[in-house]
Amino acid sequence: MDRQIVYPAQIPLDSDQLNAQRNAYVGLGQLAAMAYGWATVAASGFACTPGSGLALVIGPGSLLAPGVVDASAYGTLAAVASALVRQYVSRDPVTLTVPGAGATYTVYATPATVDTDDTVLPFYNAADPSVTYAGADNSGKTAPTVRQDVVQIGIGTSVPTGAYPLWTVTVAAGATAITADMITQAAGAPFYATIPELASTAYVDAGLATAASNLSAEAAIRAAADATLTTNVNARVSGVYGVGTGMYDGKALIQGAAGPSFCYNTGSADVWLGLLYGVQSSISGGTRTTINGQKMLIYYINNVEGTNFQITFPESFSAVPSVFVTATSEFTTNLSAWINIVAGTVTETGFEVNVNANEPGEASTHGAGVWVFAFGAA
């Protein structure tokens, strides 16, 4: 902190007194910056209590806020734009009138620097020191004698630019008086615990109790979430799964145009495997199964007889399939049938067969039951 030096018999200058005050001012601001930081806004005091009717009483308080040493000339000293934490003061209680019922309002503090206490100052006449002037050059004009850093208290539905919120007041519709339960600390209010509060065991205990309560509530939330997750997993997964020697963790499981694929890494490269997948549905007399774009028809036909009997597939293939047939019915007592596909007759839509007895002399016009197995591109 700077201090002015003066000497015996020295002619005193106004700048000596002004600099002495500025030096103390800067020292106090530097100390505040050490305690709160250069960019922190901090408020103390400003107690908010109900007044008469729709009114509030705001107690004295002070506000620390970042600024500069002097934004304008201080007496005969030039302005100084160096950064400084400044203290703004509201010395006396302030009564605010609440604008009306049925709304929520914010009490806010606005820091301001004002030159005030204007006075007609006495000056001496340099040509005749015995003569006193009233005001500079005997003009009779007043001049400010104090530079004040003050807090201006206001209330509104929003906080103006450059102001800081202190209290929130929620007034119910139809209310005719302010009560204590309507007043709460505003969100973002720059109040900090005082040193006595920080040293108080009760303050610490309250903080610990709040932390413990918050931790307990969070633990309950996590436990409930874990229980839900466990239930969901157990509903879909059973048994114990792990990766053993020679096994690999999976990296991806996707559905592509050709079907599902699985990817794993061997430690040196990714390996993709196509997975079989099938869809089974019913057809007349049997079933239809499609696996990776390949179709299989298995169905039964009753009473197939004779030669060049035409069999039509219940649904067509996109290419000529492979076909197998077998006869199951007997012609007469103790006689069975055999069946063969007529060579060259298999197409995408059907084929021809011959049905014969396995005993000579048995007519081929007897009917037989036939199972058909057809495999090909869907």
What is the per-residue pLDDT across 247-295, written as a single tens digit (0 to 9) for each? 777 888 888 766 788 888 887 889 888 776 677 888 888 999 988 788 9
Token pair of 77, please? 């000293």
Task: Reply yes or no on whether the pLDDT at 178 is more than 50.
Answer: yes
- Mark which of 153, 173, 196 sits at the end of a domain: 196
**For 60-118, how does the pLDDT look when each residue is reduced to its tens digit (9 = 90+)?**
999 999 999 999 999 999 999 999 999 999 999 999 999 999 999 999 999 999 999 99
Q: What is the SS3 assignment for 151?
A: strand
Name the residue with higher pLDDT: 201 or 229.
Answer: 229
The pLDDT, as a whole number, for residue 94 is: 97
The pLDDT, as a whole number, for residue 40 is: 93
The pairing of strands 61-70 and 42-45 is antiparallel
Q: Does 191 lie in the same domain as 50?
A: yes
Task: Reply yes or no on whether the pLDDT at 333 is more than 90.
Answer: no
User: How many domains are contained in the chain?
Assistant: 2
**Contact assessment for residue 261 and residue 332, using Cβ atoms and an 8 Å cutoff:** no
Let me know if residue 271 belongs to a domain.
no
Phi first, then psi, for residue 108 (nearest 5°) are -130, 160
Residue 189's pLDDT band, with cuts at 50, 70 and 90, is very high
Token pair of 150, please? 């003050």
Residues β-bridged to residue 150 = 89, 112
Q: What is the mean pLDDT of residues 34-48?
A: 95
The pLDDT, as a whole number, for residue 361 is: 43
Q: What is the mean pLDDT of residues 308-335?
A: 82
Residue 24's pLDDT band, with cuts at 50, 70 and 90, is very high
- Mark which of 139, 164, 196 sits at the end of a domain: 196
Let me know if residue 126 belongs to a domain.
yes
Q: Does 305 lie in the same domain as 189?
A: no
Q: Does 162 lie in the same domain as 52?
A: yes
Cα–Cα distance, 16 to 19 (Å, whole number):
5
Q: Does 289 lie in the same domain as 188?
A: no
23-27, 158-162, 327-331, 367-371: the lowest-pLDDT one: 327-331
Q: Does 187 lie in the same domain as 93?
A: yes
Let me know if residue 223 belongs to a domain.
no
**Contact assessment for residue 72 and residue 149, using Cβ atoms and an 8 Å cutoff:** no
- Looking up residue 102, the CATH number of its domain turns out to be 2.60.520
The pLDDT, as a whole number, for residue 330 is: 55
Cα–Cα distance, 377 to 317 (Å, whole number):
6
H-type alpha helices, the chain: 14-36, 195-199, 201-234
Let me know if residue 59 belongs to a domain.
yes
Q: Does 183 lie in the same domain as 313?
A: no
Q: Does 166 lie in the same domain as 63?
A: yes
- In the β-sheet with 278-283, what is the strand arrangement from edge to edge? 278-283, 286-291, 294-304, 368-377, 322-327
**For 49-59, how does the pLDDT look when each residue is reduced to its tens digit (9 = 90+)?**
999 999 999 99
Cα–Cα distance, 331 to 360 (Å, whole number):
12
Measured between alpha carbons, how far is residue 104 from residues 132, 167, 324 in Å?
58, 11, 86
Let me know if residue 8 belongs to a domain.
no
Cα–Cα distance, 47 to 90 (Å, whole number):
12
**Percent share of the chain, pLDDT over 90:** 56
Q: Does 181 lie in the same domain as 318?
A: no
Instruction: Give the range of the structural domain holding residue 348, as residue numbers without chain letter.
Output: 278-377
Task: Reply yes or no on whether the pLDDT at 366 is more than 70.
Answer: no
Task: Reply yes or no on whether the pLDDT at 363 is more than 50.
Answer: no
Q: Does 284 lie in the same domain as 192?
A: no
**For 119-168, how does the pLDDT look when each residue is reduced to its tens digit (9 = 90+)?**
999 988 888 888 889 988 888 899 998 999 999 999 999 999 999 999 99
Q: Does 137 lie in the same domain as 42?
A: yes
Q: What is the SS3 assignment for 61?
A: strand
CB atoms closer than 10 angstroms to residue 349: 11
Q: What letter does residue 143 receive in the DSSP assignment?
A: B
Residue that the structure tokens 């990296």 belong to? 251
Residue 335's pLDDT band, with cuts at 50, 70 and 90, is low
Let me know if residue 129 belongs to a domain.
yes
Phi first, then psi, for residue 219 (nearest 5°) are -65, -40
- Mark which of 155, 180, 196 sits at the end of a domain: 196
Cα–Cα distance, 344 to 354 (Å, whole number):
13
Task: Reply yes or no on whether the pLDDT at 319 is more than 70.
Answer: yes
- Looking up residue 307, the CATH number of its domain turns out to be 2.60.40.3940
Let me know if residue 264 belongs to a domain.
no
Contacts 24+ apart (CB under 8 A), 119-125: 119/143, 119/145, 121/145
Token pair of 93, please? 């209680």
Let me know if residue 307 belongs to a domain.
yes
Q: Does 313 lie in the same domain as 170?
A: no
